Amino acid sequence: MAAIREITLGALLDETVAKYPDTEAVVYVDRDFHLTYREFGALVDTLAKGLMALGVQRGEKVALWANNVPYWVALQFATAKIGAILLTVNTHYRSHEFKYLLENSETENLFIIGNYRDHDYLATINELIPELKTQERGQLRTNKYPKLKRLFYLGHEKHRGMYSIPELQAMAAMVTDAQYRARQGELDPHDVVNMQYTSGTTGFPKGVQLTHYNIANNGYWIGKNQDFKPGERLCLPVPLFHCFGCVLGVLACVNHGVTMVILEDYVPLDVMAAVDQEKCTALYGVPTMYIAILDHPLFERFDYSSLRTGIMAGSPCPVEVMKRVMDRMNMKEITICYGLTESSPVMSQTKIGDSIRQMTETVGQAMPEVEIKIVDPDSGRRVPNGTQGEICCRGYSVMVGYYNNPKATEGAIDDRGWLHSGDLGVMDDDGYLSITGRLKDMIIRGGENVYPREIEEFLYAMDGIRDVQVAGVPSQKFGEEVGTFIILKDGATMEPEDVIDYCRGNIARYKTPKYVTFLTAYPMTASGKIQKYKLRELAAELWPDA
């Protein structure tokens, strides 16, 4: 294979089906669900034809609000095969966030499940779109979301205003093979195929647009750096709505003929059982996931001898945790990745054969065909090796831009094509990158990015709050937790629980403040700018046992 390929996701899947038709593609251990690549390819084609029959056009967006259910990966390729754009939705979103996504994305199609944990998705959808109960399926007309046309229920049950999966599959008979091939013949590898919303420093999430070219190639090199071989088995307990799942996981596997052993949700016991039962050779997770497995009381009852590689990413990994994973879980060839959704996402990765220091203290070298440089945040000039600066990357993996947001795109990608990460790092003389901090105020809680401004904007609407600032609180379990510092209006009274209750059910649980305190003033610079770093220092003092 050439370093970089001009290929669509549909063509990539067809290649893998032709090469490894009898190799298992998708496995769900808990329900004895097994599909070979031939069977998986057939399911994808049926769903794709069904979507075509219902009128889904090239360039339309198909939002998918679901955890890692069996049809998720099939829809990833079905939408790609007909030129639609898969819009992956965070399962933790609540009505406030989902309403914004529907409005901002202008999505035409939506797939949902019934509920996730304590959140009733169907109730939320019917509250946001009451027209579902009175209008004909596929003919939705709503003033709030004028582009939205079709809703689908990701299962066999029937719900008012929605198509079920069996109904979608039955519609496939209305599209001929010639029509299906013609649609695929229209597609370009540089078409947008995936859109993900990432929280914005302005307080409003932005839709990151990624192409077939971006993520197909990134998936190839992610798998190559783990030395993936056809028939190997990856245990995938990370969310598919993140790039960690749908690119590092799915596209690395499909590029190399690897089996995806998927878990609907992360449960340590289920991960251990899946690795043991399916003899998985690779495992993905954020550091908190690995820690929960290593510390589980039943850890010793399972066999990890089949494991050899995998990825740990999402937040910095303590050295001792990495050593335990390598020794006790047999993952001697585990790799570390670093990147952003905007870079498809991986811009650097460690490789098999790297030293222990490189595997535990760095995030590896630049991916093939990707350039990384460290620049002075003020001047924009490249700094010498060993000097801290902002991490920037350039290459095939850089996003097209933010959806309908040229100003934000210009702020992220400069006129020479360099994507500015907002993260601080140091490059050594061998090209290995170490992450040292952040220019932006982002909090990373258990691998989830949390932007303080988004929570601040939400809390400003709460009665009694005059001003609010959010900062990260160091946490042994999650790396960081959300801390909130509030100045009340004159005469207002409030308890921390009131703030938490106001957030609960309205914004994602991982964004809901864990800690709340009330101040009379914020630490300020001479020019009147709030000193967030001093709030972070205060947080560490107030909540030392986080």
Where exactly are the structural domains of the chain? 9-328, 443-542
Would you say the CATH fold of 443-542 matches that of 9-328?
no
The confidence score (pLDDT) of residue 201 equals 43
Q: What is the CA radius of gyration of the chain?
A: 23
Tell me the C-alpha distance between 338 and 225, whole Å: 13
Specify the pLDDT at position 202.
47
* pLDDT score, position 530: 75
The tens digit of pLDDT for each residue in 17-44 reads 999 999 999 999 999 899 999 999 999 9
Q: Are 285 and 312 in contact (CB under 8 A)?
A: yes
Q: How many helices (H) and strands (E) does the chain have?
A: 18, 28
Q: What b/e readout covers 213-228, taking b as 16+ CB neighbours within 10 angstroms?
A: bbbbbbbbbbbbbbbb
User: Per-residue pLDDT averaged across 122-139, rounded?
Assistant: 95
519: Cβ contacts below 8 Å, ≥ 6 apart:
485, 486, 487
Identify the CATH class of 9-328: alpha beta
Q: Enter the tokens of residue 321.
A: 């945790």
Q: 11 pLDDT exceeds 90? A: yes
Ramachandran region of residue 407, left (φ > 0), alpha (ψ -120 to 50) or beta? alpha
What are the pLDDT digits (tens) for 248-276? 999 999 999 999 999 999 999 999 999 99
CATH 3.30.300.30 fits 443-542, yes or no: yes
pLDDT of residue 523: 86
pLDDT at 314 over 80: no
SS (H, E, C) 44-81: HHHHHHHHHHCCCCCCCEEEEECCCCCHHHHHHHHHHH
Q: So what's the pLDDT on residue 221?
A: 98
Average pLDDT over residues 499-522: 94
How far apart, in whole angstroms, are the C-alpha atoms of residue 524 and residue 32?
59
